[in-house]
Amino acid sequence: MSVKVESFRDDWTVADLDAAFTYLAGKDNVDENRIGILGHCWGGRVAWLGCCHNPGYKACAVFYGGRIKISFADGGLPPIEQAGNIPCPVLGIFGNDDQSPSPEDVDDYEAALNAAGVTAEFHRYDGAGHGFQDFTNEERFRETQSADAWEKVVAFLDRRLK
């Protein structure tokens, strides 16, 4: 079953993320003070959105997340307008050839985080478009940029969550 973007609701997504966070934080083998969130594409938007609503996250990584500047179905504020609620550093990984988000969108994301005083570390890759880490798609996949991005996200998460 696929969900249409038009029927996607930010409030429902936040509720799902909070339930997942609570479940994870309640596990005996999980340190609730070292939970981060990461997402690619739509999941990058979801990661940003989740951090806007849950002060428990200690790190957020957004891989080419688009549509952060708009809200969905529930009439809430767009995630970009909630940047000041983000409790943790944000790593952004983006391709300069992407149009969703475009380089201008990425500039706006970074400016919103900076204006809100959120620590942000953004990396942008020339020759890479949307989905450049999708190794199953020969047209999109960029091995060199993808490997560098993974090194950066692992180092970021190590610094923030270990």
Integer distance in angstroms from the first to the last C-alpha of the chain? 37
Annotated active-site residue 51? The verdict is no
Which one of 40, 51, 98, 105 is the catalytic residue? 98
Annotated active-site residue 41? The verdict is yes
Which one of 10, 53, 60, 130 is the catalytic residue? 130
Annotated active-site residue 53? The verdict is no
Which one of 40, 41, 51, 88 is the catalytic residue? 41
Count of helices and strands (H, E) across the chain: 4, 4
Compute the CA torsion angle 30, 59, 91, 4 (nearest 10 deg): 80
Backbone phi and psi for residue 95, each to the nearest 5 degrees, phi listed first: -100, 135
Strand partners, 62: 39, 92
Sheet holding 120-125, edge to edge: 36-40, 59-63, 90-95, 120-125
Residues with a catalytic annotation lie at: 41, 98, 130
